[in-house]
Amino acid sequence: MSAPIVQGWCPGALRPMMSGDGLVVRVRPRGGRLTTVQAKGIAALAGRHGNGLLDLSNRANLQIRGVNEAGHPALIDGLRALGCLDDSAEAEARRNIMVGPFWAAGDATQAVYAALEAGLSGTNAPKLPGKFGFSIDLSPQNALCGAAADIRIEAGNGGILVRGDGFETGALAECPAEAAALALALAHWFTQTGHIQNGRGRMATLFAGLAPAARHACLPAAFQTTQALPASPATPQIGPCAQGYLLGFAFGQMTAQTLASLADLGDLRLTPWRMVLVEGLATAPTLPSLITAPHDPLLRVVACTGAPGCLQALAPTRALAVALAAHVPQGQTLHVSGCAKGCAMPAPAEYTLVATTNGFAALHKATAAGRPHSTHSAADLMANPDLLFEKPNAPQL
Ligand code: SF4
């Protein structure tokens, strides 16, 4: 397989990334939420300046696809008028804050978010690596505890717990302002560890190889409070919930028209599972590309943009994923990736197909960068889906 290019940074609105179908412009919703006005405005801008398609990202952001360079300044003006932009590309990159969707009006979630955003946009903000991010989930289910984040703000026993990703201990805050201040202090501490190299570095790899006791000793004293850590919960199910209705989308993609129609139903909360929670909605609407049933086979397949939308892709991905979806057993996942970078699913999947110059490499219980056990053409896989379930040969004893 040819080596994919690792960019080491995420696109933003002010710093978009070129893809095979034009610029990808990523909008970071404040507080993890788009008001009806913002969502309708973004839908109109995506139709006017993009190719009319929007992607939900696994960082709970919204990406406008197919923007041409000439239209980018007008798109930026429109996003600024909607209150969706930051003062600079650097401030935008730092405002990498994921908010769990199951917060209730009046709980501390949005106050923590506002305080953290203010801290990250100040002159004394920590100089963080490109993909470094924060998560805030104070809900009892702590649905975000398995989502990618470097600093986690969670409901603790007797306060708000602030901890680094992978740390067994954290610091307890009594109020939202203190929680944000602790998260910023931990971020500043991280910048002084020497772990950031060439603009890259993640909290989870900081103590790689160290035993828990040794890790504990390295932490600042304020972050050595022991708490019962949450187990990683299952991905929330599509359907009604206390805050509204959770809706899915085939491959996390929707049209601008679907976004505008959803905005008519209520304010929207974005999630890292590429689902949208429509606030206050009691029944599922009927809209194109919407997944409303929790056992829809399309929820068992994950596929990146693939060719021709991604410049690095070695083949189209989504038609193959759709063709194979019904053959994937319930509770398992097939990941179809346009190259070994595996953007759509960094974690291992039960079954993975990776496009190569030679067909699709098949892998079992691996990430897209793993070692394949066989290679098949897309046509052969569609004609004989059982090829997917071939297992690597057992080692000869
Ligand atoms: S994994 Fe898919 S989206 Fe990511 S770079 Fe490769 S082809 Fe492009």
* pTM across the whole model: 0.90
Map residue 103 onto helix, strand or coil. Answer: coil
Which residues on adjacent β-strands are paired with residue 17? Answer: 24
- d(CA 36, CA 264) in angstroms, rounded, equals 7
Burial of 351 (0-12, 13-18, 19+ CB in 10 A): buried
Residue 220 Cα to ligand 1 midpoint, Å, equals 38
Query: 297-389 in CATH: which number?
Result: 3.30.413.10
Host H or E run for residue 172: strand 169-173
Measured from the CA of 313, which atom of ligand 1 is nearest?
7
Residue 305 Cα to ligand 1 midpoint, Å, equals 7
Residue 4 Cα to ligand 1 midpoint, Å, equals 8
Where along the chain do the CATH 3.30.413.10 domains lie?
297-389
Angle between the 36-49 and 256-263 helix axes, to the nearest 10 degrees?
160
Q: What is the mean pLDDT of residues 308-312?
A: 92
Output the residue whose Cα is nearest ligand 1's atom 6.
339
Measured CA to CA in angstroms, residue 220 lies from 124, 164, 319 at distances of: 20, 11, 50
| Closest C-alpha among 59, 67, 61, 54 to residue 23 | 67
Residue with tokens 């083949």: 315
Measured from the CA of 339, which atom of ligand 1 is nearest?
6
Residue 49 Cα to ligand 1 midpoint, Å, equals 23
Whether 1 shows a pLDDT value over 50: the answer reads no
Q: Ligand 1 pocket check: which of 58, 312, 314 to mutate, most ligand atoms within 8 Å of Cβ?
A: 312
- d(CA 187, CA 116) in angstroms, rounded, equals 11
Output the residue whose Cα is nearest ligand 1's atom 4.
343
Q: Given pLDDT bands bounded at 50, 70 and 90, which one contains residue 394?
A: very low
Cβ contacts of residue 48 below 8 Å, gap of 6+? 71, 74, 75
**43-91 confidence digits (pLDDT tens):** 999 999 999 999 999 899 999 999 999 999 999 999 999 999 999 999 9
Measured from the CA of 344, which atom of ligand 1 is nearest?
1
| Conformation bin of residue 8: beta by default, left when phi > 0, alpha when psi is -120 to 50 | left
Whether 9 shows a pLDDT value over 90: the answer reads no
- d(CA 14, CA 129) in angstroms, rounded, equals 17
Output the residue whose Cα is nearest ligand 1's atom 5.
312
Where along the chain do the CATH 3.90.480.10 domains lie?
17-88+236-291
With a pLDDT cut of 70, the percent of the chain lying above it is: 96
- The pLDDT of residue 11: 86
Residue 355 Cα to ligand 1 midpoint, Å, equals 10
Fold entry, domain 17-88+236-291: Sulfite Reductase Hemoprotein; domain 2 (3.90.480)
> Where does ligand 1 bind, in terms of residues with CB under 6 Å?
4, 304-306, 310, 312-313, 337-339, 341-343
Burial of 381 (0-12, 13-18, 19+ CB in 10 A): buried
Measured from the CA of 338, which atom of ligand 1 is nearest?
7
Q: Are 53 and 46 in contact (CB under 8 A)?
A: yes
- The pLDDT of residue 113: 98
Whether 395 shows a pLDDT value over 60: the answer reads no
Residue 356 Cα to ligand 1 midpoint, Å, equals 12
**184-232 confidence digits (pLDDT tens):** 999 999 999 988 888 889 998 888 888 877 887 888 999 998 877 777 7
Residue 78 Cα to ligand 1 midpoint, Å, equals 29
- Spacing of C-alpha 395 from chain mean position: 37
Cβ contacts of residue 178 below 8 Å, gap of 6+? 160
Residue 385 Cα to ligand 1 midpoint, Å, equals 23
**81-133 confidence digits (pLDDT tens):** 999 999 999 999 999 999 999 999 989 999 999 999 999 999 899 999 988 99
Q: Which of 5-19, 284-298, 310-324 has the lowest mean pLDDT?
A: 5-19
